[in-house]
A = this chain, B = another copy of it.
Amino acid sequence: MQILDGKKLSISIKDELKIVVSEMILKPKMVIFVVGEDERSKAYIKSKIKFGQDIGALVEVKNFPVEISGSDLINEIKKANADESVDGIILQMPVPDTIDSKKVIDSILPHKDVDGLTSTNTVLLYDGKPFVVPATARGVVSLLRHYGEDPEGKHVVVLGRSKLAGKAIAQAMLANNATVTICHSKTKDLQKIISLADIVVSATGVTGLLENMITKDQIIVDVGISVGEKGLVGDISEEVKKLAKAYTPVPKGVGPMTVASLFQNLYECSVKRMGL
């Protein structure tokens, strides 16, 4: 039983990025657009600021009141699009329901879309020719590869179909020539489908999944993060995951890989914009 240590790999990535960024005259810069206040967002933003500082990148947080209109927000994003010093733009989710997040995200220049969530980048990923892979999906693929588990030819069963996690992971796996099954709340006979998986990726936010379903030849990637009685927990209990061949713990699994992958995206967007 092997632990897929996302924390450890994220530190290696951080060290690599630190070196390449130190050689850049113009440091990569990310701007995070935040609307209103959300406790969980605060923790994510804090970890992005910290990672950015550690590698010598610039992270600017722009806060806006909940009352801001979508069109005003889009105008602010257009300023960042036009700003030559900005390499990456993020709209921190969630935003208030009054704002059409899809429209706002699509106002981000695809070349600065480090979250990979604009329509342009979604279609490129869907077409198997990604320009920017959403950070969680990139992190999951990197972690598997690092531990010698290339997804090509493997059967990957993904639980959950959110755009940010489940669907993006499914598309990234398909682009890497995995056979992919997407399961969700309407799936029947989950146990049988799981029994055929080489890799199970759970991205539901529902806890207590997959009990009595895991076998010792499987690899479990736990993307879920919920707040349990004893702190952060994944979709699958650590006891259940221990029955597998390998698994990502929560915390210190996919979470830190997501942040590290986001900054890999930022670095690459910055380099590509320079035309290097």
In the complex, the answer to whether B188 meets A155 with C-beta atoms within 8 Å is yes
Contact with B along A171-183 (1 / 0, CB 8 A): 0001001111111
Number of copies of chain A assembled together: 2
Tell me the smallest distance from the CB of A93 to a CB of chain B, in Å: 15
Interface residue from B126, B177, B189 paired with A184 (Cβ < 8 Å): B177
Closest B residue to A183 using CB positions: B179
A122 at the interface (CB under 8 A from B): yes
The answer to whether B153 touches A188 (Cβ under 8 A) is: yes
Q: Which of B154, B177, B189 is the one whose CB lies under 8 Å from A155?
A: B189
Interface 0/1 of A139-183, CB less than 8 Å to B: 000000000000011110000010100010000001001111111
Query: Is residue A92 contacting chain B, with contact meaning CB distance below 8 A?
Result: no
When chains A and B are docked, how far (Å) is the Cα of A273 from the Cα of B230? 55
A79: interface (CB < 8 Å)? no
Chain B residues lying within 8 Å of A212, measured Cβ to Cβ, are none
Digitize A120-144: 1 where CB-to-B-CB distance is under 8 Å, 0 elsewhere.
1011001110000000000000000
Tell whether A40 is near chain B: CB-to-CB under 8 Å: no
Q: List 7 A-B contacts (CB under 8 A).
A: A122-B122, A155-B189, A155-B193, A161-B174, A178-B186, A179-B181, A189-B196
**CB-CB < 8 A to A183: which residues of B?**
179
- For residue A178, which residue of chain B has the nearest CB? B186
A102: nearest chain-B partner, CB-CB = B127
Distance in Å: Cβ of A120 to nearest Cβ of chain B:
7
Is A237 an interface position by the 8 A CB rule? no
The answer, yes or no, to whether A187 is at the interface (CB within 8 Å) is yes
A119 within 8 A of B: yes
Q: Which chain B positions have C-beta within 8 A of A154?
A: 188
Partner of A192, one of B120, B122, B187, B196: B196
In Å, the complex CA distance between A167 and B153 comes to: 18
